[in-house]
Amino acid sequence: MSILITGGAGFIGSHTCVEILDAGYDVVVVDNLSNSSRKALERVEKITGKTLKFYEADVRNTDALRKIFSENSIDAVIHFAGYKAVGESVREPLKYYDNNIGCTVSLLSVMDEFGVKRIVFSSSATVYGIPEKMPITEEMPLSAINPYGRTKLFIEEILRDRYNADNGWSIALLRYFNPIGAHKSGLIGESPKGIPNNLMPFISQVAVGRLTELHVFGDDYNTSDGTGSRDYIHVVDLAKGHVKAIEWAFTHTGCEAFNLGTGKGTTVMELRDAFVRASGVDIPYVIDPRRPGDLDELYASCDKAKSVLGWEATLNINDMCKDTWLWQRDNPNGYD
């Protein structure tokens, strides 16, 4: 069985390539390397001892996709390709609509042409907008609070329409909470371009001296220590969730959403402290004002993923910090 992984050179994509290869599938990656490095794929091959096929191409390019589908007998697709920076999406919304929605529409049209009807899509907890209560379950109302979130919401709608028009499709909408961590080999991990927007890469770059101190965005939230709380999930657990979703897609039709998280919240200060313990390196910090749009706490109910996919997270915050540290220590400048 052959799985096409769009955006497979990226952070979550590269870890998913490892798990999909280890599960015995053939892997074909398409990525334009706009936010990633070819080195990630070389390291995937090193970790697994297996080879994958790589096409450097833009997923919006339907001719390039046709060539990939013609040259490979693709059975299912995992679709990661897209942009993900919330702040940039507010400043440059069209860039996000063009890339995120454009990639999905061109991919679905070529899948249609080749009769491939199984897709696992990278959605996000951001589709819940400002949730009314915790934990968040899949049937809670959806809304978007920024253009990036709107692209995820629109793509989910496009995929639901795709299924409604042809019930032969299998579509898994995976709503990730906060993916962090790295493969335990320390060979692949998150390598953001520029100054990181997200908490964990910021902490790990302070640890290796690329940044001087952590800016904690607000200490007056309604949480145990006043700092924001999120449901962090180890990227390897998340990657294994994709293997389960692919297995589901091979045995079911439907369009189903699944939360992938741990169901537990961790505050900014708890994550910082766990990282200090795991690395033995101090992380100096200052308290800054709240970041606009941030909520007190967000955490998932993952009951549906457990009962339907047979998946649940197994790695904890200490594993996430230990593995992030190993990756960042050995690769202080990421893949550069």
Cα separations (Å) of 141 from 126, 266, 301? 12, 24, 14
Residues 162-181 that bind ligand NAD (CB under 6 A): 176, 179
17 binds, among ligand NAD, ligand UD1, none (CB under 5 to 8 A by kind): none
Answer yes or no: 25 catalytic. Answer: no
Give backbone dihedrals phi and psi of 166, rounded to 5 degrees, phi first: -155, 100
Which of ligand NAD, ligand UD1, none sits in contact with 31, Cβ below 5 to 8 A by type? Answer: ligand NAD
Name the residue with the smallest CB distance to ligand UD1. 228
- Provide CB contacts within 8 A for 303, sequence distance 6+: 137
Q: How far is the CB of 196 from ligand UD1 (least distance, A)?
A: 7
Which residue among the candidates 25, 96, 128, 148 is catalytic per the annotation? 148
Could you tell me if 326 and 188 are in contact, meaning their C-beta atoms sit under 8 angstroms apart?
no
For ligand UD1, give the closer residue by CB, 169 or 176.
176
And the tokens for 268? 């900014």
- Token pair 């009807």 is found at 117
> Which lies closer to ligand UD1 via its Cβ, residue 229 or residue 331?
229
Considering the complex, state which of residue 7 and residue 263 has its C-beta at the smaller distance from ligand NAD.
7
- The 10 Å CB-count burial string (b at 16+, else e) for 218-248 is bbebebeebbbbbbbbbbbbbbbbbbbbbeb
Among positions 34, 61, 137, 197, the unique one binding ligand UD1 when judged by CB under 6 A: 197
- Tell whether residue 143 is a contact of ligand UD1 (CB under 6 A): no
Residue 82 or residue 168: which is nearer to ligand NAD going by CB?
A: 82
Of the candidate residues 9, 68, 173, 216, the single one contacting ligand UD1 (CB under 6 A): 216
The size of the interface with ligand UD1 (CB under 6 A), counted in residues, is 18
- Straight-line distance from the first to the last Cα atom of the chain, in angstroms, rounded to the nearest whole number: 33
Task: Pick one of ligand UD1, ligand NAD, none as the site partner of residue 316 (Cβ within 5 to 8 A by kind).
Answer: none
In 258-301, which residue ranges form alpha helices assigned H by DSSP? Answer: 268-279
Residue 307 beta carbon to ligand NAD: minimum distance, rounded to whole angstroms: 22
Applying CB under 6 A, among 5, 11, 110, 136 the residue interacting with ligand NAD is 11
Residue with the two structure tokens 């809670």: 140
What values do phi and psi take at 77, rounded to 5?
-125, 140
* CB 34 to ligand NAD: min, Å: 4
Query: For the chain, what is the largest distance between any 2 Cα atoms, rounded to a whole number of angstroms?
Result: 56
Sequence-ordered list of residues with C-beta below 8 angstroms from that of 14, at least 6 positions apart, any chain:
8, 36, 40, 41, 43, 44, 188
Q: Does 124 interact with ligand NAD (rule: CB under 6 A)?
A: yes
> Contact positions toward ligand UD1, by CB under 6 A?
84, 86, 124, 126, 178, 197-199, 202, 215-217, 228, 230, 268, 291, 293-294
Catalytic positions: 148
